[in-house]
Copies of this chain bind each other. A is one copy, B any other.
């Protein structure tokens, strides 16, 4: 686990949440990705990424926040997701399912399963997302995958 060994541990600390701003102390909001995706389905809108930590682990926990109307890119990768809704109301396209979730409901995304996160409400939607520290890069869906999602009435609205 090279990622763990290479990191330097920090002192114990409390990372308080400012509940009005919904921001953890010392955790910066960053762009979701460094650039917009060009491949079909890889567009995204109005979301930020906040990497909370921890140093010295084989995993990373991030907070993602989507403004009303916001959505992530429709992508897949080998690493799995375990996500907990912590602010507002969200919707997830995962494989051939669409799940609404809020209030600490969790969503599991298996390997190589197409998925997209969306804000389903009028307030910001935020979720905690933990992933392996060493992980593969997200990939666009292939044409067959996109076609299947577009042919399924449940997933079609989100397969743009």
A residues adjacent to B (C-beta < 8 A): 1, 4, 9-17, 19, 24, 52-59, 61, 79-82, 84, 86, 92, 94-95, 97, 99, 101, 103-111, 113, 115, 128, 130-134
Contact = CB atoms under 8 A, between A and B. Distances in A.
Copies in the complex: 2
B132 A9 contact: no
Contacts of A110: 9-12, 55-56
Contacts of A115: 12
B104 A86 contact: yes
A134 B59 CA distance: 11
A56 to B, nearest CB: 5
A13 B101 CA distance: 11
B111 A9 contact: yes
Contact of A9 (B54, B80, B101): B80
A101 B16 contact: yes
Contacts of A61: 82, 130
Q: Which 7 pairs from chain A and chain B are nearest by CB?
A: A59-B59, A12-B94, A15-B106, A54-B82, A9-B110, A14-B99, A58-B58
Given A11-B95, A14-B106, A57-B131, 8 more contacts: A9-B80, A10-B110, A11-B110, A12-B110, A24-B106, A52-B106, A61-B130, A128-B128
Contacts of A19: 103-104
Contacts of A104: 17, 19, 86
